[in-house]
A and B are shown apart, each in its own frame.
Chain A
Amino acid sequence: MIALETRSLCKSFGSLAVTQDVSLAFEVGWRYAIIGPNGAGKTTYFNLLAGNLRPDAGSILFSGRDITRLDVTSRARVGIARSFQRNNLFPDFTVRDNLALACALRAGTARVFWRPMRQLTSAHAEADDLAAQVGLTEVLGTAVRHLSYGSQRQLEVALALACKPQVLLLDEPTSGMSPEETSRMRVLIADIPRTLTVIVVEHDMDIVLDFADRIIVLDYGRVLEQGTPAEIRASEVVRERYLGKSALGYSGGHAP
């Protein structure tokens, strides 16, 4: 079963074609990693998937339904949630308030204006569970602007999880993290239930090779290669264009 699919997706900024004819299908429950050099169009592709950008051509299908014209809000409501490369939170709220609000927005109880927020017990219970899931229980009552960078990254993922999505898009979840925080994030991502389809943009090859069922390599906005980690490791094209000849223990003298 295919959860999310793009067909001949194109996007240009002026004369710069950032996404060129990208056709990909994402199977339900699988883990995908999108890699590629800087400027390969990874984040643009993500923004097209999440609805932050409109494609110039091509279509996006979610469970077979055409969602190309839906905006960010509507895509979140059908079940595509994303985290952001840079922390994109509610800084004045506590961790619990951030999560409870996200749960209320998803559950449709956020428009209630005649009862206090604290009476939304299910949203708060869910918030506490999410915090436990990502390891933020100890800082539940802390305002987000006082949180460490790593904890903010964890909350970034937790907010996306609060949408109870079918497809989860994580944009560089470990960027800027310390090695310790990175390993915690690895565990967190590995623990995401298999009912969700997860697509990650990531630079850390250790994480990518460890986590992904399939890896997609973008280069100049095109799909350069896709396959299992082993296939990508073995791919001549990828090695030449992206990983470099010395990467991944490869030492053979291959002259072009």
Chain B
Amino acid sequence: MASRAFVRRSIGLALIVGAVVAQSFAGFFTQELIAEAAILAIFALSLDLLATCGLISFGHAGLLGIGCYVFAGLTVLAGGSPNLAFPVAIVSGGAVAFMVGLFAVRTTGAFFIMVTLAVAEMLYAWGFRSKMFNGADGMGGIPRIDLTAVGIDLNNPGTFALTVIVVCAVIWLLLELVVASPFGRTLAAIRQNPSRVAALGGHVYFYRLAAFTASGMVAALAGAFKVQHINFISPDLVSWFVSGDVLIAVVIGGIGTLVGGPLGATLLVLLKETLSSNLGHWYLFLGMIFAFVALLMPKGIVGYLLDLNDRLAARKRPSECRQTERAT
């Protein structure tokens, strides 16, 4: 029977292939949707990386927002090159996550949720009043990265969608390597039993801080893509609604599975689109669908598939034993 890692990677590969194929046949509108889903998928990966060590953030939009505001500020306000602003935005996300993490990762559970939410709301409040960024009205004219030197025009919606898919795939592969590494296994051990990791001589605090910092970098990367995609920035990008959306995507897809986040993100974007164009109170129906999925599959879709795979493997094993007994 297939191993859990094999199942997860197959789902990830299927998602990538599906997105690339769909993108190549899609018209403008669908391409925009695919780009939106891929950006949310990157964001979801960053949240799930943090969940690997047992921390659930409800203020992840704050870190996404750092990417948004740094990229928009450097390009529109400072007139800098978007190609330079992009890496600076990513590093800024990591730096802010590190500083917030210095005190935030001392807490866990509900306290961590509250601390991250509070910090994100602070950024929202600042963005709301910021004259520089035109406050709640928002600011447009955000340029995209210029890759014309290598023959890639990101202002073409299809090319942009494809680029985000590729970046998302690369981040997913990198994170797959990280969670399989000794560092990633230690994060998983901390999720299961932090006090034992400490008793074995592991510095739980530093591992959590490292995970939070890395997660901040990935979230800021998603944010820098977000403002490029919609060519617009407003504090709505930092609101707790955004933190909630990405949390829903990860939980529905399967927390702690990495690939669950992108799957949940894709479903969330597609469902939102289908429901909102056909129904009035579409958020109500979205909530009902997700409540139903959560009841049916408490570990999310990928978690459910992994357990199913385990059960099939367990059913197969005794029959193998019987066969060998018969043979001997």
Contact = CB atoms under 8 A, between A and B. Distances in A.
A115 B177 CA distance: 7
Interface string A70-99: 011100110001101000111111000100
* Count class of interface residues, chain A: 35 or more
B196 interface: yes
Interface of B is mostly: helix
Given A90-B189, A92-B192, A93-B192, A112 B182 contact: yes
A149 to B, nearest CB: 17
A110 interface: yes
A68 to B, nearest CB: 18
A97 B177 CA distance: 17
Contacts of B197: 105
Contacts of A60: none
9 contacts: A73-B198, A73-B202, A73-B203, A84-B196, A93-B192, A101-B185, A101-B189, A110-B202, A113-B181
A110 B192 CA distance: 16
Interface of A: 50, 71-73, 76-77, 81-82, 84, 88-93, 97, 101-102, 104-106, 109-118, 120, 123, 159, 162-163
B200 A105 contact: yes
Interface string B198-242: 111111100100000000000000000000000000000000000
B127 interface: no
* Count class of interface residues, chain B: 20 to 34
A81 B178 CA distance: 28
B158 interface: no
Contacts of A90: 188-189, 192-193, 196
B184 interface: yes
Nearest to A97: B185
Nearest to B193: A90
A109 B177 CA distance: 16
A169 to B, nearest CB: 10
B9 to A, nearest CB: 13
A115 B181 contact: yes
B199 A113 contact: no
Interface in B2-55: none
Q: Pick the most buried of A90, A104, A106: most chain B CB atoms within 10 A of its CB.
A: A90
A120 B182 CA distance: 8
Contacts of B257: none
